[in-house]
């Protein structure tokens, strides 16, 4: 499958998210209204990750070949919607993934920012997955989640959505996967900030936290790249 191509349209096409109900007033729309005149605190990059069934003797090379930058520098909310609203979300194939990450951090375990981190992952039914991902992306890019864990010296690095058969796996990545307090604060903030109809039941099996170090293939992946623990 060729990588999706984003065509940027005119400003009037992205003022309102094209998949949100026009009469729906949410916290996230209020955040959006406040953000429009100002740049985002961090710059962000859209990535496309094409799933591969083949095994490679060099995992780093294999993964690098799967990753494509869709848009390198999202510095304000208007640019975010120019990219987001023109992306062919319905064309994403099974197990392919789209990431939105802080510029300068790759959505791979072996990146120095991610090597000691982990992520909250939510299994979201297809009917809610796009709205769920949109809200988490706004909360991430608007630094709402970052503000919640700032006191723990942790960082929210990105958000991902990966297509499955009847659902999407939607993840929020953080830098310090061994800070239990930060992990719980992040969980509580996500659950409280999401729209009520999207919130999973706490302690249900529809979401979980996992450190990258606990995932199969982690050790092999980090051997392929130097680790800078001071990043």
- Please indicate, yes or no, if residue 20 is contained in any of the structural domains: no
Assess if residue 5 is contained within a domain: no
**DSSP per residue, 59-84:** HHHHHHHHEEEEEEEEEEHHHHHHHH
β-strand pairing of 97-102 with 156-163: antiparallel
Residue 44 has pLDDT above 80, yes or no: yes
Instruction: Tell me: pLDDT of 202 over 90.
Output: no
User: Considering the domain boundaries, does residue 23 fall inside one?
Assistant: no
Residue 160 in any domain: the answer is yes
pLDDT category, 59, cuts 50, 70, 90? low
Is 8 contained in some domain? no
Per-residue confidence band for 20, with pLDDT thresholds at 50, 70 and 90: very low
Q: Is residue 120 part of a domain?
A: yes
- Strands 118-125 vs 207-211: parallel, antiparallel or unpaired: antiparallel
Gap between the Cα atoms of 141 and 160, Å rounded: 13
Q: Which of 76-80, 89-93, 176-180 has the highest mean pLDDT?
A: 176-180
Domains held by the chain: number: 1
193 in any annotated domain: yes
22-26, 53-57, 67-71: which has the highest mean pLDDT? 67-71
Whole-structure pTM value: 0.80
User: Does residue 190 lie within any of the structural domains?
Assistant: yes
Mean pLDDT of 116-131: 97
Give the domain range for residue 80: 37-224
CATH number for the domain including 165? 3.30.760.10
């Amino acid at each position: 499958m060729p990588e999706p191509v984003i065509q940027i349209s005119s400003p009037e096409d992205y003022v309102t998210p094209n998949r949100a109900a026009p009469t729906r007033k949410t916290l996230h729309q209020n955040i959006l209204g406040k953000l429009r005149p100002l740049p985002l605190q961090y710059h962000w990059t859209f990535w496309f990750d094409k799933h591969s069934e083949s095994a490679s003797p060099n995992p780093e090379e294999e993964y690098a070949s799967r990753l494509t930058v869709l848009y390198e520098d999202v510095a304000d909310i208007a640019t975010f919607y120019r990219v987001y609203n023109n992306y062919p979300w319905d064309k994403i194939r099974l197990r392919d993934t789209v990431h939105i990450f802080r510029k300068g951090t790759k959505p791979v375990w072996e990146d120095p920012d991610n090597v000691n981190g982990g992520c909250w992952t939510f299994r979201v039914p297809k009917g809610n997955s796009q709205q769920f991902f949109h809200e988490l992306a706004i909360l991430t890019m608007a630094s709402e989640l970052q503000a919640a864990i700032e006191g723990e010296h942790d960082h929210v690095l990105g958000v991902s959505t990966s297509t499955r058969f009847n659902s999407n796996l939607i993840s929020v990545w953080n830098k310090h996967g061994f800070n239990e307090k930060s992990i719980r604060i992040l969980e509580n903030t996500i659950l409280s900030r999401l729209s009520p109809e999207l919130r999973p039941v706490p302690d249900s099996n529809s979401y979980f936290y996992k450190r990258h170090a606990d995932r199969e293939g982690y050790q092999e992946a980090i051997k392929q790249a130097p680790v800078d623990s001071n990043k």
